[in-house]
Amino acid sequence: MSYIFRIVWNFFIPWKATFSKFLKMKPEKRLANINIMAKRLGELDYNYIGAKEAVQNAARELNAHESKIRFKEKYPEDFEW
């Protein structure tokens, strides 16, 4: 099962890097860049499409619903908005 998660996770690496940079910004800079980040989150680029297909395939292989597929990721416990 971890093999499937690693395959799916590879699609999220570019998005993760962008989001991590956003979370580490100072609150003023984050506020100034929130529209750019929202646009990037809303775009259905090739990374999203590939990840969606990988989640669907994993769910099919595991005979589980797509909503049951989870990723292990660590987020900061607290950050200022």
**6 belongs to a structural domain:** yes
- Residue 7: inside a domain: yes
Residue 34 lies in a domain: yes
Distance CA 53, CA 70 (A): 14
Span 67-81, mean pLDDT?
68
Question: Does residue 37 form part of some domain?
Answer: yes
- Residue 21: the pLDDT is 82
Q: Residue 60: its pLDDT value, please?
A: 92
**How many domains is the chain partitioned into structurally?**
1
3-class SS of residue 77: coil
61 within a domain of the structure (yes/no):
yes
Confidence band (pLDDT; 50, 70, 90) for 79? Answer: low
Domain of residue 56, residue span: 2-67
Q: What is the pLDDT of residues 10-45, one digit of tens each?
A: 666 666 777 788 888 898 998 898 888 888 777 777
Decide if pLDDT at 2 tops 80: no
For residue 41, being part of any structural domain is answered with: yes
